Chains A and B, each alone.
Chain A
Amino acid sequence: MSMFQDIPVDVGIAYEGERIRRPQMYLEFGGPKVKYKFELARVRKPEEVEDGKVKIVGPDIKDLPEGSSVPLGILVEVAGSQLEEDLEGIIERRIHEFTNYINGFMHLNQRYDIWCRLSKEAFKKGLNSFTYIGKVMIRLYKADLPIIEKIQVTFITDPKEVERMYHEALKIYEARDARARGLRDEDVEEFYGCTLCQSFAPTHVCVITPQRYANCGAISWFDGRAASKVDPKGPIFRIPKGECLDPFKGEYSGVNKVVQEKSLGAIKRVWLYTAFGYPHTSCGCFEAIAFYIPEVDGFGIVHRDFKGPAINGLPFSTMADATGGGRQVDGFHGISIEYMRSPKFLQVDGGWRRVVWVPKAVYERVKDFIPEDVRDKIATDEDVKTIEELIEFLKAKGHPVVERWKEKEAEKAEAKPVEAEAVAAAPEAVPQITGMTGVSISGIPMAAGGLRIILKGAKIRIDKVVIKRTGSGGK
């Protein structure tokens, strides 16, 4: 690249995956042998940034003894009329990419855990100062992100200064994460999709939004963005949101379109924030299941590591069979732990105010995100063992679902009973077990539009189930 003629080594994308082995290494910065290291991007006022400046605080490369492991801080300061603090994370992530373009320079990881190596060969060729690395970064930043009007880069190797700034940086990362957690689905232009699980759930498409983490708990919206950028045609891809058809249920035209394509037509609509109607499909990887409990018109949650039966008498594995496989199953919903921390968590169904039972282990992980008014009203496996005990617990604590029972009781009193036993639940939804073959039902209480079917210890294979509401006497 001609823009790097004054740099003693080659610069280019071809060097991105370059690893420098210890025997080839001249110097190491950060990494496991060094306690304090960091990299940080900050958006500054224009007058605070000297454009093009590379500063070095502490000894430069040529002043450091060969073979040593050195503390390092990299500070990128930028200014621009369009730049906002929210972009700091994005800018900071590019440090990794840009420094890796330098032949003979390796950069790993991020934030407070960076690990760099400079090769003997690069040093011999004259790469003996951070000035070169800084110049490369500045030019690549400006070429790639025109939004940056002014940029300066500082390399800190003075151990005391690295340590001082490290502690400051930690606070900045933390504040940034808190803001990221505040990012709403409404705030972004695109979501991300993941089809990594299609090998065993061929119709499953995970829709990853800022407020709905991937079911497996592994991929955040930020991870989706990073992965789709690296390999746009890969298994993690962009989903332009399109038109918002229903902000409360979380239905987007773009999501419907992509899910339909990627599920080969099997799934046509998705409501992101509910377990009924057109729920997000469940793969096989979900960290937990939100399962509807008809007896109390509420949700239980069971996670993968939970041993023994959940409050409805079924172990995780049994419910997982009924939930997974890329289907939309009413009342059995595969979710991640992180989604439970989202304000959009099952918001259509009532969110945490509809959850009645969670294993203690899950409760501990998410309790700070449960609305205060219901936080101590949700039972755990330590509180109750049976549905009867659960009902008593909910009544005693005054859980919000108890109000629902009363409303339903009142409705029931007005209405004449139909042929089947009316269930308090009756969520306004159509059963979605359609078009699937080999649906297995093994002792699972199914909430299906005003009917309660309880199969105990039964093994039935059904090719097709048609459940129709008969007559007009229901409601």
Chain B
Amino acid sequence: MIISVSGKGGTGKTTIAALILKALIEETDKTVLMVDADPSTNAPIVLNIPVEKTVGDVVNVFRKKVLDTTELGLDKSRVIETWIMEILKETPRFDLLAMGRSEGEGCYCYVNAVLTSILDRLSSNYDVVLMDMEAGLEHLSRRTDRDVDIMLVVTDPSKMSLETARRIKELIPEVHVEVRKLYVVGNRIPDEDSESYAKTVRDYGLELAGTVPLDPNILSYSMKGLSILELPDDSPSYLAVKRICEKVGIL
């Protein structure tokens, strides 16, 4: 199953993705690959897992060192595959891969083609691939989202975030990305406003998976630099995300 979490910047999509990860770890036996596809690389911070290198870093070194190799007998795609395995953060229940960003000009055609097949192959080894996508819509046009089973677009009380969600829904058929199910997750919505928010979402032509209330635990955990995965199981945000996961079929 491939789950993608996207949405406008600042809506808390990385936090929601981390809470989904927590639910998958605690409620199932599934193996999970968490992909932080946001160039700002927030997931390692939220999960408190230090990531030394991103795929972008690897690509930069690869382009500098391996592409101009004197070792003609080398299969370069195997080199980059290995380097990606090296930067994969392996934990008992899930692995974490940070995409980062690659810099510099020049040709990425070959590297991107190689990368896509390597990531596809890597993904096929996990029961669930959970992607924390970039804010905005760039990832759609660049087709980093491909064949997603469930796309969750995180919104907040702002109109802008819902506009973004609508744009994402509109763009999907244009860029030939297959998304089997798309839901909105309303973040930082007080429980008592949940129903009126559902109506607003419907007015935008979207389907609401549920709302997540503002949770003081999240703030205090992030201030202390603790992992969201350690959040108490009775935290209101976690309970809400668990309900959402059940509703959309993640659990």
Contact = CB atoms under 8 A, between A and B. Distances in A.
Interface in A78-97: 89, 93, 96
Nearest to B94: A21
Given A21-B31, A365-B68, A196 B95 contact: no
A181 B109 contact: no
A337 B110 contact: no
B73 A222 contact: yes
Contact of B72 (A21, A222, A227): A222
| A-side interface size class | 35 or more
A218 B76 contact: yes
B124 A17 contact: yes
Given A109-B81, A196-B113, 4 more contacts: A217-B67, A217-B107, A304-B106, A338-B68
Contacts of B93: 23
Interface stretch (A45-53, A110-118, A382-390, A438-446): A110-118
Contacts of A19: 85, 121-122, 125
A220 interface: yes
A199 B93 CA distance: 40
Nearest to A235: B113
Contacts of B233: none
B110 A23 contact: no
A304 B105 contact: yes
A176 B71 CA distance: 9
A173 B68 contact: no
A115 B86 CA distance: 10
A226 B75 contact: yes
Contacts, number: 99
Interface string B52-95: 00000000000000011011111111110110011000101101
A177 interface: yes
Interface string B148-192: 000000000000000000000000000000000000000000000
Contacts of A305: 105
B106 to A, nearest CB: 5
Interface residues of B, number: 32
A228 to B, nearest CB: 13
A304 B122 CA distance: 33
Interface of A: 17-19, 21-23, 31-32, 89, 93, 96, 108-111, 113, 115, 173, 176-177, 180-181, 194, 196-197, 199, 214, 216-220, 222-223, 226-227, 235, 283-287, 304-305, 337-338, 365
Given A177-B71, A218-B107, A21 B95 contact: yes
Q: Which 4 A-B pairs have the closest CB atoms?
A: A285-B107, A216-B107, A180-B72, A218-B110
B128 to A, nearest CB: 13
A436 to B, nearest CB: 22
Nearest to B84: A108
B250 interface: no
A196 B110 contact: yes
Given A21-B31, A218-B110, A108 B73 contact: no
Given A17-B121, A21-B31, A110 B75 contact: yes
Contacts of A181: 70, 72
